[in-house]
A and B are shown apart, each in its own frame.
Chain A
Amino acid sequence: MEDRTILNRQLAQMLKGGVIMDVTTPEQARIAEAAGACAVMALERIPADIRAAGGVSRMSDPKMIKGIQEAVTIPVMAKCRIGHFAEAQILEAIEIDYIDESEVLSPADDVYHINKRNFKVPFVCGAKDLGEALRRINEGATMIRTKGEPGTGDIIQAVRHMRMMQSEIRRLVSMAEDELYEAAKQLQVPYELVLYVHQNGKLPVVNFAAGGVATPADAALMMQLGAEGVFVGSGIFKSGNPEKRAQAIVKAVTNYNNPTILAELSEDLGEAMVGINESEIELLMAERGK
């Protein structure tokens, strides 16, 4: 494996146990950093607003992203459309720390994802199941997150995706080695990746939860289900008291197994984002890019 790929996987390792927050302005970025975010995702509109606005959603203005890079010292991520390698090239040119090839934006290609091995900057990609996760890793992604359902404040899809991934991982672990070739065929991924999961009981890259996290309890739930960290998009800056909620979610991820601390953290957070139930959604972003 190339040095750069390993270094990029290792940056994701440093983000573990942390919360990556969506921010749209330098001011929000500073609030996120002060609250203890381990990285921020710079974007023009958070998923809930993308959902409300409709239309084609694209990479953010590089100037806006640079403003956020200047405002904070923690890593800054930004999103490009699925398959839009030119947007990714632009983000690499401004030295973004991580690119999210994201289903939250309108896909630019309905067949091919970006060949992420062509880039020096790292990529994180969403996945609903193990096959998707390993296909993205094969394309060069050095970090995976569940897709969940962004902009809803509804955790059900993130739970579904994380449970699916973990149960498929357990299934591979329990297989005899001769069965792995067939498993690779079914998952539509290279044998070597299947073998890695079989031997190690985990993905070869860090795996975060994303899409629908709105409360400290949501974050703790995802961590207990096996996430190594959490992305929070609309959940923070669409809530009544973003600063307090951000701090609470950060500490909930650290102490995800401690109900006493979680109870304290969950007190008095003000209003959570209103949210949309799964059944009320017209656009399933998680179905983009498989």
Chain B
Amino acid sequence: MKIAILALQGAFAEHEQMFRKLGTETTLIRNLDDFNSNVNKSPSSGVGWSRVVIPGGESTAMMRIMKDLGLFAPLRQAILGGMPVFGTCAGLIMLDKAHLDVMDIKAKRNAYGRQLGSFNAKADFKGIGEVPMTFIRAPYIMEAGPEVEILASVDGKAVAARQKNMLVTAFHPELTDDTRIHQMFVDMVANSR
């Protein structure tokens, strides 16, 4: 089990540490060569770094770098092909219909306002129980299609969801000591279609 973390900008090192705690090997994807040599496009063959994490950071910055470095299309294709992907905060935004357009959700960016609106919460996460949640200039999910399962809500807003091979959180599990959501991603079967 190996996990590739998109390292274009943002808090990718924090995800590395979480997976290290779980004893899972990771690699960083900074460009197309990294992607091609590390991410296997057909996960069913069982070799290569066949799952990807899109970390928190600035989605506009990551989208720009992703497009300029030619990563947009191959990443999108791999996800549509069933490669498990885990997006946190900016990662959630990037998987939505307005960005990579792979998940049937619409994210509301900076949904809680500027930095003064950043906050911590605790809420139930489906299949796990109560988890600590850190929201930094966070989005929430404002629309979700019928195939999307909402996994957690805070104040009536959906903040975590899953659709087939895609897992997203509006908060940052990588900033807490709780590894259970990362474990959930590790456990997601390679081709969940």
Contact = CB atoms under 8 A, between A and B. Distances in A.
A150 interface: no
A77 to B, nearest CB: 10
Interface stretch (B36-44, B106-114, B147-155, B179-187): B106-114
Contacts of A14: 10-11, 56-58, 89-90, 136-137
A140 interface: no
Interface in B40-77: 56-58, 60-61, 64-65, 68-69
Best-surrounded residue of A14, A15, A255 (most CB of chain B within 10 A) = A14
Nearest to A206: B11
Contacts of B56: 13-14
Contacts of B115: 7-8, 11, 75, 95, 97-98, 121-122
Contact of A254 (B58, B60, B65): B65
Contacts, number: 115
Interface string B132-156: 0010110000000000000000000
A251 interface: yes
A151 interface: no
B30 A97 contact: no
A210 interface: no
B171 to A, nearest CB: 11
Contact of A74 (B11, B30, B61, B69): B61
Interface residues of B, number: 35
Interface stretch (B95-103, B116-124, B157-165): B116-124
A17 B7 contact: yes
B137 A250 contact: no
B58 A15 contact: yes
Nearest to A8: B115
A258 interface: yes
Contacts of B69: 251, 254
B83 to A, nearest CB: 22
A114 to B, nearest CB: 17
Interface in B4-31: 7-14, 30-31
Contacts of B137: 11, 14, 75, 97
Contact of A120 (B12, B60, B116): B116
The 9 A-B pairs at the shortest CB distance, nearest first, are namely A36-B64, A97-B115, A38-B58, A36-B61, A17-B9, A18-B9, A7-B118, A38-B61, A95-B114
Interface of A: 3, 7-8, 10-11, 13-19, 33-39, 69, 73-75, 95-98, 120-122, 247, 250-251, 253-255, 258, 261
Interface of B: 7-14, 30-31, 56-58, 60-61, 64-65, 68-69, 89-90, 109-110, 113-116, 118-120, 134, 136-137, 172, 175
30 contacts: A8-B115, A8-B118, A10-B136, A11-B118, A11-B136, A13-B14, A13-B56, A14-B56, A14-B58, A14-B137, A17-B12, A17-B57, A18-B57, A38-B61, A73-B60, A73-B109, A74-B60, A75-B114, A75-B115, A95-B115, A96-B114, A97-B115, A251-B68, A254-B7, A254-B8, A254-B9, A254-B31, A254-B65, A255-B30, A258-B31
